[in-house]
Structure 1
Amino acid sequence: MPSTPIELRFDDVTTGYAGVPVVEHLSFRVREGERLGLIGRNGAGKTTTLATAMGLADLMKGRVHFGGHDISGASTFARARAGLGYVPQSRDIFPSLTVEENLLSGLQGRSAATALPEVYALFPRLKERRRNGGTQLSGGEQQMLSVARALVGQPRILLLDEPLEGLAPMVREELMDAIVRMSDQLGVGCVLVEQHVDVVLDFSTDVIVLERGLAAYSGPAVALRQEEELLNRTIGIQKC
């Protein structure tokens, strides 16, 4: 019998920092192979939502489940080992290491002979630059490396926090094409936080719109396109 897809689930989550809530009463689920988008103005709680999934924010109410287990009290390391991948805004690579050394650092016990060809097929530019140091890469290449390093650990669900920030249009297109192929070919579930709203709507099956820490919309991306008043109110000039 086929195995049940791994699922990340938030149940009535209120979360924030130092006792101050940033996101309140948030519930959603995303499975392997599915694509969920999170959009909203700056400060709406998008990054905090991803941080909560990884155990990097203070869970004040509700529960976080992954793979059928309550991980609300689990360490960030345990969540990563269980199959949650995270690509932060900071392009968190090791600048003193080569591209390939950065990738090897994310293997989490996998065979390099299997993992490296997989990510090089998605990111041919990284294969070309595999001997280059992190400081020799462009901003777009560093972002590709950050995503690729998360992928070599074979996550079941990947959390992406504004991966296109500061990138030129051509590089944005190249990176999103790789992310789409990753989802299609490897069956990785994705939660995408991104300011380019049209990119999120094109990529995602379902979308959550956060407004001041609350879900103003949660449903199909196709239906959200028709909600012009909601998008204008919650996104404003950030809508493409």
Structure 2
Amino acid sequence: MRSVTHRSGRRILTGAAAMALAAGGVATVTAVPAAAAECKAVSVISARGTWEPQEGSWLQKPMGDLILQKFPGQAKYTELTYPAQPSFNTSAPVGVGNLISTLNSETQACPNQKYILLGYSQGAGVVGDALAATSARIWGADKGTVSSAASSRIAAIVMFGDIRFRAGEPYNVGTFEPGKQSGNPPPRPLGALSTYSSRIQNYCVRDDFVCQGSTGNFIAHLAYFTNGMPTQGVNFAVAKVQGG
């Protein structure tokens, strides 16, 4: 499956963004909803951060590799097709629609398949809005909803530097300051993902200007690449798939 902008007063970049700019440009990606592929016991779907490459998310591809090692021959890893550009109002809705379409079509074709959803930065916002009720979304309210059958097969949701991080949720994890949350785009409504509460780990670190508001900094938003939280997320997801 392939995957690919909220206009705000500021542009939020991931570590991939800085590297992409240094490399001299970003390729345009045309979003095409993915068709259901071969059935596996576990399907890992990754929604990358702004300006990360369409293939090979620098944060989440290594996580996918670890999960596949835990379920040899029984799992697959795919990266959601969407632009992942800083114009969030045109980029994120594509991701929301493609994720909903993928979950619904794969579940119809593979009803026994379980899902692990990964999201970083803008990608975390995409995952959250896709799973939330349309009234709780700021992106993709016209993209339909995840079917009850697909929803029941989502075993784990792991997010980092969530662009719509809401303080006070029971699934928040990390060194964040209590009470601080994303600012622009706004945080999702409290309880918007309550259906999945026991299946979520939403990682946020202190001073991350994406999940902690504009008072933070960009360097903190890159901490997830080296702070061990992705490994914690993998362990959480694997345990959930195994019934934990």
Do they superpose with TM above 0.5? no
The higher-RCO structure (CA 8 Å, 6+ apart) is 1
* Greater Rg by CA: 1
